[in-house]
Structure 1
């Protein structure tokens, strides 16, 4: 196995990689913002961007699978003896948006966990008011 190339990884994943990257980075930024200053509004925004990332990931993978199947349906493009190899190579590349989306969403979840911990600690210390009026009380 040769070394990892981010450029090759992004190219293999196709156009959908850019939508996954944009949505995932936006979700990660929102998660960092929530972790820095917990608030329900920030958590809701992070959740919405995370759902957007999931949708972009699914759309990217399915678009790629469709492209692979479209390529394989023409016998002039791929001889019968090579169908299996081309199919597996295509499916490997088709899964790239899923890999990127999963990685970004894992990072988002880790950062949100820090925000949830900070929110619980702020609520326990009484630093945000009796009822968590600014959305900083522990999430029930």
Structure 2
């Protein structure tokens, strides 16, 4: 797990921070459902998605920058291809990590929705 985190780069720290906040809010919602918590969970989920995209693009930039530098140094094309695929594999780490937080968060939101009391039927549907 340490290698997985390290391979993802510095953006994994922001994903960890925002992911923990999102899961914490979802856990609170699962325990005590309330309408005020859902907009925050949605906003944090979007923040987590944007952070993940940023971390992935930063990782891609680092990989391509290294490939350019190594290509200029005259590295063998087969070695460059191997480095490219290794780098692309590492670029998937932020998405995998954020996906874990988002899945857990929305699973907890689903539990909260099940626990939320049903709303009263409209006045016209009530029997006298």
Give the shorter-chain TM-score range. Answer: 0.7 to 0.9
SS of alignment partner, residue 71 of structure 1? helix
Does residue 54 of structure 2 align to residue 54 of structure 1? no
Q: Report the Cα distance in structure 1 between the residues aligned to 2:76 and 2:64, rounded to whole angstroms.
A: 14
Whichever structure has more helix as a proportion of its residues is 2
> Counterparts of 1:1-140 in structure 2 under 5 Å?
6-74=1-69, 75=71, 76=73, 78-119=75-116, 122-123=117-118
What displacement does 1:77 show? 7.1
C-alpha deviation, 1:13, in angstroms: 0.5
Distance 1:66 1:123 in 2: 49
Change (3 A) 1:93 1:78: farther
Q: Retained in 2: the 8 A contact 1:13–1:93? A: yes
Query: Does structure 2 conserve the Cα–Cα contact (< 8 Å) formed by 1:35 and 1:118?
Result: yes
Higher relative contact order (CA 8 A, sep 6+): 2
Unaligned runs of 5+ in 1: 1-5, 132-140
Deviations 1:45-70 (A, max 9, x none): 11111111111111111110111011
Alignment partners' CA distance in 2, 1:67 and 1:78: 17
Corresponding position of 2:126: none
Number of residue-to-residue matches in the alignment: 120
Normalised to the residue count of structure 2, the TM-score between the two structures is: 0.87
Three-state SS of the structure 1 residue aligned to 2:33 is: coil
Aligned partners of 1:24 and 1:53 also within 8 Å: yes
**Larger-Rg structure:** 2
